[in-house]
């Protein structure tokens, strides 16, 4: 069953970007308060209150403000304290979150903190000095990782840290236990690791500062695990990242595969994962990625040309050129000297990422196809496109087509009534109406066996499994496409990594707020204005789907919501159409208007 309290928390603007496990953690410290009509709450009570039921009046000297679910009032983390009296004007219920619990939650969930600060900045809340500093740094976490030893991982990590330090202040963490340390390669004396300390000790400012070694004015290094004889408590990582994000815009982590618990925690928290591959390691790395990367991480595969001079690696990748080290020179000095040969690679990795988010819906979202088509010959394209359900399938069809003619043909074929009707295998599998076999067949016809991370424009989506959601940025595209059509509870789920997944729509439609937790800097949102009005199209199957979605009460928790938190927002005007074929034809006839929109979003 879906937890209704999680759905209510997710509606709150402050928490729309949270994943289900984070919302579940918040629920553990939430205290429901029943407040009778006329009851008073003081805003100076060191708590945040979220309205679950009823109406409250915020009394101010010049005016009164009335708030209803899912609004909030009280004290916000990293924001200047307000004051005032709040009165319940009807019998009401509010969730209470103590400020100490909220600060602890933010300190242990770095991506949740990042998203929260972006929301606070969007709504122009008055941030404290600490909040301003965190938001200004916009800290990104980049991890360099490999399953193999002696592959040049630490050298690549130093290169990433060195190049990023030319942009903004950077710290490099040595989270490998053995090999050659970051300190040695930078010509610095090795300092003791953090491995024997508890999470509480790591949060001490003096303790951290004593273990940070300066390499240049904008590059520092810190020993997390190197040389340690005991395993690091992985719970140290979250408070460590929280502390470092006050000072650094880039946190680069040199991570090995020797400590699985530490590796898993680091990869969970990373934004960009740089992996050194060869023909031996690629399958191992992909298995790890598919299991652990659930937070919108971006994967970049690198071949170190120093070790792979003759091997032919077919998987898409970027090359890291061999670094020649002269006599008496450290690796850090050699990287500085050879910086021009690495500029192109790291300029792409470190560039601000742009994303397009497409509002979810049913068959009316086929109109997005015209927007996708404008990207085919464009020099300015987004790095990421996030969609869920049918828009995701429309996106993948575009990425697998070679021309407008082929794309149109694919859509007319895939969304014909005959094709859609073939998906409805009414054999009544356990708990569902329709089996997933036709969905798998459909996805195989849409795309071949390509992985998500191989696309030039990375297709993001969220799928739903076991009462929780997960973001997919790696894995076999065929499985993800099939699951994107598996609407719950109509269809049997699709197995991915031994879990049964369904489409996140309509329970979790694509929202720009989801990406606020990621490293993506510019987020644009495209919706259409017909999401509530079923079109009179000649498609019985899609008509059934539409009525099914409209019937679900929790869909309206999002469908009725307005005011997306993003950099740019556009709403498409869909012309009157008479059929699916007519809708597809008209979206491609609107190229000039779509070109203008894309210039404003990507080229602006």
Return the CATH number of the domain spanning residue range 355-603: 3.40.1090
Residues of CATH 2.60.120.10 domain(s) within the chain?
Answer: 4-133
Q: What is the pLDDT of residues 194-242, one digit of tens each?
A: 865 555 555 566 778 888 999 999 999 999 999 988 898 999 999 999 9
Unique residue bearing structure tokens 């969730």: 95
pLDDT at position 445 is 82
pLDDT at position 534 is 46
Alpha carbons 258 and 231: distance in angstroms, whole number: 10
Main-chain dihedrals φ then ψ at residue 361, nearest 5 degrees: 170, -165
Alpha carbons 560 and 515: distance in angstroms, whole number: 20
Tokens in use for 161? 């840290």
Q: What is the pLDDT of residues 325-375, one digit of tens each?
A: 888 899 999 999 999 999 999 999 999 999 999 998 888 899 999 999 999
pLDDT at position 200 is 58
Q: What DSSP character marks residue 575?
A: P
Tokens in use for 395? 């996106």
* Residue 114's pLDDT band (cuts 50, 70, 90): very high
Unique residue bearing structure tokens 């490999």: 146
Residues of CATH 3.40.1090 domain(s) within the chain?
Answer: 355-603
Does residue 562 surpass a pLDDT of 70?
Answer: no
Residue 38 to residues 55, 222, 396, Cα–Cα distance (Å): 11, 55, 55
Give DSSP secondary structure letters for 114-133: HHHHHHHHHTT--B-HHHHH
Closest listed residue to residue 372, CA positions, set 531, 596, 588? 588
Least confident of 61-75, 357-371, 491-505, 542-556: 542-556
* Residue 556's pLDDT band (cuts 50, 70, 90): very low
Main-chain dihedrals φ then ψ at residue 10, nearest 5 degrees: -65, -25
Task: For residue 22, give the 3-state DSSP assignment.
Answer: helix
Q: Which CATH superfamily is domain 138-350 in?
A: P-loop containing nucleotide triphosphate hydrolases (3.40.50.300)
Alpha carbons 297 and 270: distance in angstroms, whole number: 7
Range ranked top by mean pLDDT from 42-56, 62-76, 263-277 = 263-277
* Residue 533's pLDDT band (cuts 50, 70, 90): very low
Query: How much of the chain exceeds pLDDT 90, in percent?
Result: 59
pLDDT at position 437 is 87
Does residue 180 surpass a pLDDT of 50?
Answer: yes
* Residue 518's pLDDT band (cuts 50, 70, 90): very high
Residues in Cβ contact with 68 at an 8 Å cutoff, skipping those fewer than 6 apart = 51, 54, 55, 56
Q: How many helices (H) and strands (E) does the chain have?
A: 24, 24
- Looking at per-residue confidence, does 394 or 532 come out higher? 394
Asked if 192 and 212 touch (Cβ cutoff 8 Å), the reply is no
- Find residue 41's DSSP bridge partners: 86
Return the CATH number of the domain spanning residue range 4-133: 2.60.120.10
pLDDT at position 155 is 95
Instruction: Cis check for the bond before 106: say yes or no (omega within 30 of 0).
Output: no
* Residue 312's pLDDT band (cuts 50, 70, 90): confident
- Kindly report the average pLDDT of the chain as a whole number: 87
Does residue 550 surpass a pLDDT of 80?
Answer: no
Task: For residue 34, give the 3-state DSSP assignment.
Answer: strand
pLDDT at position 532 is 40
Task: For residue 47, give the 3-state DSSP assignment.
Answer: strand
Angle between helices 437-446 and 390-399 in degrees, nearest 10: 30
**Any idea what the Cα angle at residue 202 is, between residues 196 and 206, rounded to 5°?**
115
pLDDT at position 198 is 56
């Amino acid at each position: 069953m879906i937890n209704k309290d999680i759905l209510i928390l997710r509606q709150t603007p402050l928490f729309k970007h949270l994943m289900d496990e984070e919302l579940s953690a918040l629920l553990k410290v939430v205290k429901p308060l029943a407040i009778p009509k006329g009851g008073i709450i003081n805003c100076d009570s060191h708590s945040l209150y979220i309205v679950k039921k009823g109406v409250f009046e915020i009394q101010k000297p010049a005016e009164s403000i009335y708030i209803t679910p899912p609004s909030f009032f009280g004290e916000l983390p990293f924001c200047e304290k307000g004051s005032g009296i709040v009165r319940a004007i009807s019998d009401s219920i509010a969730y209470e979150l103590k400020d100490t619990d909220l600060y602890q939650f933010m300190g242990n969930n770095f991506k949740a903190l990042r998203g929260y600060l972006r929301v606070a900045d969007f709504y122009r809340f008055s941030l404290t000095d600490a909040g301003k500093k965190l938001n200004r740094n916009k800290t990104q976490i980049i991890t360099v990782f490999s399953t193999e030893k002696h592959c040049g991982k630490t050298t690549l990590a130093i290169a990433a840290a060195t190049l990023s330090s030319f942009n903004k202040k950077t710290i490099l963490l040595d989270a490998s236990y053995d090999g050659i340390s970051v300190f040695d390669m930078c010509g610095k004396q090795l300092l003791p690791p953090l491995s024997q300390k508890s999470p509480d000790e790591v949060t001490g400012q003096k303790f951290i500062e004593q273990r940070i070694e300066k390499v240049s004015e904008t590059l520092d290094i810190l020993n997390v695990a190197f040389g340690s004889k005991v395993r690091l408590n992985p719970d140290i990582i979250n408070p460590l990242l929280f502390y470092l994000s006050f000072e650094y815009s880039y946190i680069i982590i040199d991570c090995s595969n020797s400590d699985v618990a530490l590796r898993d925690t680091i990869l969970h928290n990373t934004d960009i994962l740089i992996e050194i591959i060869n023909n031996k390691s690629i399958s191992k790395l992909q298995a790890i990625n598919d299991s652990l990367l659930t937070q919108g991480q971006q994967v970049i595969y690198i071949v170190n040309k120093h070790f792979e001079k003759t091997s032919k690696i077919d998987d898409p990748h970027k090359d890291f050129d061999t670094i020649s080290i002269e006599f008496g020179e450290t690796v850090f000095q050699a990287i500085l000297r050879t910086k021009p040969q690495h500029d192109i690679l790291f300029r792409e990795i470190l560039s601000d990422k742009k994303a397009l988010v497409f509002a979810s819906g049913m068959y009316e979202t086929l109109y997005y196809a015209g927007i996708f088509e404008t990207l085919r010959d464009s020099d300015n394209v987004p790095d990421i496109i996030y969609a869920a359900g049918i828009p995701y399938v429309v996106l993948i069809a575009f990425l697998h087509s070679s021309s407008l003619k082929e794309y149109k043909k694919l859509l007319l074929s895939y969304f014909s009534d005959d094709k859609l009707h073939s998906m409805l295998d009414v054999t009544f599998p356990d708990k569902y109406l329709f089996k997933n076999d036709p969905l798998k067949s459909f996805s195989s016809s849409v795309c071949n066996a390509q992985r998500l991370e191989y696309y030039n424009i990375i297709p993001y989506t969220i799928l739903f499994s076991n009462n929780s959601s997960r973001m997919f940025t790696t894995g076999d595209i065929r499985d993800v496409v099939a699951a994107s059509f598996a609407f719950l509870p109509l269809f049997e789920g699709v197995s991915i990594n031994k879990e049964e997944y369904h489409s996140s729509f309509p329970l979790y439609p694509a929202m720009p707020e989801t990406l606020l937790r990621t490293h993506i800097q510019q987020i644009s949102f495209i919706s259409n204005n017909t999401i509530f009005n079923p079109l009179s199209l000649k498609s019985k199957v899609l008509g059934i789907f539409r009525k099914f979605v409209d019937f679900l009460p929790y869909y309206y928790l999002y469908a009725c919501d307005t005011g997306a938190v993003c950099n740019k927002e556009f709403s498409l005007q869909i012309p009157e159409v008479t059929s699916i074929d007519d809708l597809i034809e008209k979206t491609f006839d609107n190229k000039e208007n779509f070109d203008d929109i894309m210039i404003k979003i990507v080229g602006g």
